[in-house]
Amino acid sequence: MSKVHTRRSFLGSGAMALAACALPIDSPAQRNTDASSGPAVRLGLCSYTFRNFQRSQLIAFMKQLRLTDLNAKDVKDHLPMVPALESAALSDYAAAGIQVHAAGAIYFPKDEDADIRGKFEYCKRAGIKVIVAGDPTVQSLSHIEKFVREYDIRLAIHNHGPEDTIWHSPLDVMKAIGGLDPRIGCCIDVGHCARAGTNVVEAIHKVGSRLFNVHMKDLTDFSSKESQVAVGEGIMPVREIFAALIETKYKGFVDLEYEIRPEEPMPGVIASFAYMRGVLAGMNRV
């Protein structure tokens, strides 16, 4: 794709940008905390959305989107695992007023102390309280539980849909963690959840207090991973999802994970936040 075409596409998204920015910024100071109307849904961003862009560009995009909350991944230079590089990234985010609230997906290929501890140390250095875990085995969970207790960092197991050999759905996670420390729970990826044949709204209620993170996306066909579109352009029941999160008193973030068009994600990202903010405004939850 040429640079001229890319610039035209971005300029063409100006109306959506205005719509996204017309609604309040997603920051703690401006979130609805009126007890009569219930807690607001907090919107964040998965840095994987901008996996083809450097950290400086990610920060610029977040400023344009009026976002302050990031779910960071060790991709490009977003949040490197090397301590010195991680520290530099955290300094950049702090200077930009961005808070890193979760990290992931982080993978646990080795059921070994050194490997597991390294992941928890990475999050401890960043002050991150939620690890989004991509692939822990059922057998390794009792081992990982030891580090959850030691570090007081929650582990949110991410469901990856029909292709996942273990965690198709959040309900599979719940079957495996019932007897474990309550700081081991779920990251519900709504797209993968729906593709696994699980009703997302029902899953939110069933997971309840063990829901620590939500990855938001939209699809036009719940049987097709390739049908992802901007949030609001598909069939995902976004309003009902937000209502379920409010009803269950969910305290985490809803992080947009826009996985398509990695070379030019901003138009779809802008449209997604404009839609989600519009839904929340209609629910009086901004």
- What's the CATH number where 237 sits? 3.20.20.150
Range of the structural domain that residue 91 is part of: 37-282
- 278 belongs to a structural domain: yes
CA distance 74 to 85: 11
- pLDDT for position 10: 36
- 12 belongs to a structural domain: no
Q: How many domains does the chain have?
A: 1
- 17 belongs to a structural domain: no
- 10 belongs to a structural domain: no
219 and 195 Cβ atoms separated by less than 8 Å: yes
- pLDDT for position 40: 82
- 66 belongs to a structural domain: yes
- pLDDT for position 101: 98
112 and 144 Cβ atoms separated by less than 8 Å: no
Residue-level pLDDT, tens digit, the chain, 286 residues? 333 333 333 334 444 444 555 455 554 434 444 434 445 899 999 999 999 999 999 999 999 999 999 999 999 999 999 999 999 999 999 999 999 999 999 999 999 999 999 999 999 999 999 999 998 999 999 999 999 999 999 999 999 999 988 999 999 999 999 999 999 999 999 999 999 999 999 999 999 999 999 999 999 999 999 999 999 999 999 999 999 999 999 999 999 999 999 999 999 999 999 999 999 999 987 6
Give which of 114, 133, 132, 123 is closest to 83, Cα–Cα.
Answer: 123
- pLDDT for position 165: 87
Q: What is the pTM of this model?
A: 0.89
How many CA atoms within 13 Å lie on the side-chain side of 197?
4
Query: Which tokens in the block code for residue 261?
Result: 């068009």
Residue 98 is given by DSSP the state -
How far apart, in Å, are the Cα atoms of 102 and each of 83, 214, 242?
Answer: 17, 11, 20
- pLDDT for position 286: 62
- pLDDT for position 26: 56
- pLDDT for position 24: 52
- pLDDT for position 285: 72
- 211 belongs to a structural domain: yes
CA-CA-CA-CA dihedral for 108, 109, 112, 117, to nearest 10: -30
- pLDDT for position 25: 53
205 and 233 Cβ atoms separated by less than 8 Å: no
Phi, psi (degrees; rounded to nearest 5) at 256: -65, 130
At 70, is the secondary structure helix, strand, or coil? strand
- pLDDT for position 284: 85
CA distance 205 to 170: 11
- 27 belongs to a structural domain: no
- 29 belongs to a structural domain: no
- pLDDT for position 52: 98
Where do the DSSP E strands lie in the chain? 42-46, 69-72, 99-106, 130-133, 154-158, 184-189, 211-216, 218-219, 228-229, 253-256
- pLDDT for position 6: 34
